[in-house]
Structure 1
Amino acid sequence: MRRALRENSLGLVFGLLFLIVLVAQGFAGHADFNQQQIAAGLEPVGLGRYLTSASFAADVAENWQSEYLQFFLYILLTVWLVQKGSPESKKPGEEGRESDREQKVGPYATGDSPAWAHAGGLRRALLSNSLGLVMGLLFAGSWLAQSIAGAAAFNERQLRDLQEPVTWAEYLIEPDFWSRTLQNWQSELLAVASMVILSIYLRQRGSPESKPVGAPHDATGVEG
């Protein structure tokens, strides 16, 4: 058990932190929602009702979709684009999908390679692009969930203010939707750009996201 916990500690800790923060968001969001209800002259709602509301779902989904967009773009763009000096980048001149030998597929697969690495055709193509495909699908799914929940929450506010509700398609061109969406996208893209560029000159000893402390600034694709 100790070995399993140690070998999976990174995923377990992030999973636990995710649950803690999600629960905290639920309580904080509930308090904020009720403050708005009271300010509008409406009755406050219980925690259970808030957690199953469109408002809470939209808040959660809009953050998820921006995170998955970040990883989806990063996974795909780092195949072809490089940043000299960054451990987050391939070395200049190594752009592209790489050879079968480098990727250990087909005749170059080893005994402990995934079964589909030995296969050809569709199975190998799916395995070769599975990370980007899943991240893309998670982004699309969470974006769809955000748009549906966001439309429901928007219409609740419309009805409360005695205004006409909108359809889902109409909500997709509402400033409310794109304001919520773009404020998350820009923050994620800024975070990725900051990580790529700052890791050229800054170090974190022992982290695989950093170059070794003594590595030169122009060393690229080198992890500590």
Structure 2
Amino acid sequence: MSGVRRFVRENSLSLGFGLLFLLSLAGQALAGAAQMNEDRQAEGLEPVSLVQYLTSSSFAVDVMENWQSEYLQFALYVFATVWLVQRGSPESKELHAVGTESDEEQRVGSHAREDSPPWVRAGGWRTTLFSRSLGLLFGGLFLLTWAASSVAGWAAYNVEQLQSHADPVSWVAYLGEADFWNRTFQNWQSEMLAVGSMAVFAVYLRQRGSPESKPVGASHHDTGATG
């Protein structure tokens, strides 16, 4: 097997979803531009180019709202599954493993193996930071995308304000507007529903060969098992 083919095979999950992401983003851009131009035509305004739409606050707020809700989902899931469990779900740890677990269970410090990441064996602040790096990354990405979506939403809101001959508002004032929180909770609730549904449905349903599912023949009560 050639180096390229091997790389593609061994990274097919990330490459596949990366391609689907780009295709979906392109589809959103084309559909969003078409919708904007339909609205502008109905209002007797000149159409905008695709580039103009891609640099508009309308496109930015739609993208950032979705990104921040997704990163919120993963950040909460990473942190919540440390302490919360769901009996029978492969999305949960085993019931007895609630908490951060011991150094031996986590292969930290003197319990690290030869193939463990260097910062695991280093000890001190580096091991502490690395042991929480996934949650910190997703939490940080959520905060960044939340800030970006609030700025983009603020810009889009003020465009509408000016079009209706109303006064624009400051960013801080926009954070108290119903428009902002309607957009925000609309995305958040869907993510919470999706995560909760996955945790519960995976107790009773199976997908052969998927690590997100228990083995087909596993008991409904088996927790933390993946197939």
- TM-score of the two chains, using structure 1 as the length reference: 0.98
Quote the sequence identity (%): 61
- In structure 1, what is the equivalent of residue 48 of structure 2? 45
Aligned to 1:155: 158
Instruction: Show structure 2 runs of 5+ residues with no match.
Output: none
CA separation in 1, counterparts of 2:77 and 2:216?
25
Partner of 2:205: 202
Displacement, 1:37? 1.7
Alignment partner of 2:107 out of 104, 107, 110:
104
Question: Which of 86, 89, 93 matches 1:90?
Answer: 93
Deviations 1:73-101 (A, max 9, x none): 00000000100000000111210101111
Aligned-pair CA distance for 1:36: 1.8
CA separation in 1, counterparts of 2:48 and 2:7? 43
Query: In structure 2, what is the equivalent of residue 58 of structure 1?
Result: 61
**More displaced, 174-183 or 192-201?**
174-183
Match status 1:77 vs 2:80: yes
What residue number does 1:130 align with? 133
- Encode CA deviations 1:133-176: one digit per residue, 9 max, x unaligned: 00000000000000001100111111111111111011111111
SS in 1 for 2:97: coil
- How many residues align structurally? 224
Q: Secondary structure at the match of 2:76?
A: helix
The whole-number CA distance in structure 1 between the counterparts of 2:180 and 2:68 is 13
Deviation at 1:2, TM superposition (A): 1.1
| Other-structure match for 1:14 | 17
The AA in structure 2 aligned to 1:90 is: K
Q: 2:171 aligns with which of 161, 168, 172?
A: 168
Structure 1 residues 148-206: Cα deviation after superposition (integer angstroms, max 9, x where no partner):
01100111111111111111011111111111111110000000000000000000000
Q: Secondary structure, in 3 states, of the residue corresponding to 2:30? A: helix
Partner SS state of residue 127, structure 2: helix
Distance between the aligned counterparts of 2:68 and 2:179, measured in 1?
16
Q: Describe the superposition over 1:47-105 as per-residue Cα deviations: whole angstroms up to 9, x where unpaired.
A: 10010111101100000000000000000000001000000001112101011111111
2:133 alignment partner AA: S
What's the TM-score, normalizing by structure 2? 0.97
The gaps in structure 1 that reach 5 residues or longer are none
The CA RMSD measured in Å over matched residues stands at: 0.7
